[in-house]
């Protein structure tokens, strides 16, 4: 067993879990989204399916800093989560729809959930790192 932690796997774990859960839900109950706009707002923006891969790609370049910044990951993810919301709202505004202003700020309503889910996965990764360290170094 290699003693080097698989940071890239840990980094993509939340996104893989979310896509798996959404896929299982769609398989079990059928995809209930009938409009593309609703799909974008719920799945891509609300659940962060667009923002998290941007964060993971950015963070994968800085994996050597992962142990020291592990607990900051949910906070560092916030701008990457907000960016698709702001761009989507801007597109609405450019199309002449005033609802774009609300869309540009709606990500703030999801922020507590983002932080809660983020710290759940940070705690999970911390446990995995501790278990791996214990297995590599012995009891």
Instruction: Say which residues have a Cβ less than 8 Å from residue 85's Cβ, sequence separation at least 6.
Output: 45, 51, 103, 104, 105, 106, 107
Model pLDDT for residues 17-70, shown as the tens digit of each residue = 988 988 888 788 776 666 777 777 777 788 888 899 999 999 888 766 566 778
pTM, full prediction: 0.81
* 2 three-class SS: coil
Cβ atoms 51, 14 nearer than 8 A: no
Sketch the domain layout of the chain as residue ranges. Answer: 7-62+70-132
Residue with tokens 């209930």: 32
Rounded to whole angstroms, what are the CA distances from 88 to 78, 110, 139? Answer: 16, 15, 51
């Amino acid at each position: 067993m290699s003693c080097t932690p698989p940071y890239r796997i840990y980094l993509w774990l939340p996104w893989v879990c979310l896509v798996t859960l959404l896929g299982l839900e769609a398989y079990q109950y059928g995809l209930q989204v009938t409009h593309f706009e609703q799909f974008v707002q719920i799945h891509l923006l609300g659940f962060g399916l667009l923002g998290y891969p941007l964060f993971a790609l950015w963070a994968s370049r800085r994996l050597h800093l992962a142990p020291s910044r592990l607990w900051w990951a949910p906070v560092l993810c916030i701008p990457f989560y907000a960016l698709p919301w702001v761009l989507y709202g801007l597109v609405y505004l450019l199309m002449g729809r005033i609802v774009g202003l609300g869309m540009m700020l709606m990500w703030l309503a999801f922020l507590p959930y983002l932080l809660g889910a983020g710290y759940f996965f940070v705690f999970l990764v911390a446990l995995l790192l501790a278990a791996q360290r214990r297995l590599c170094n012995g009891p």
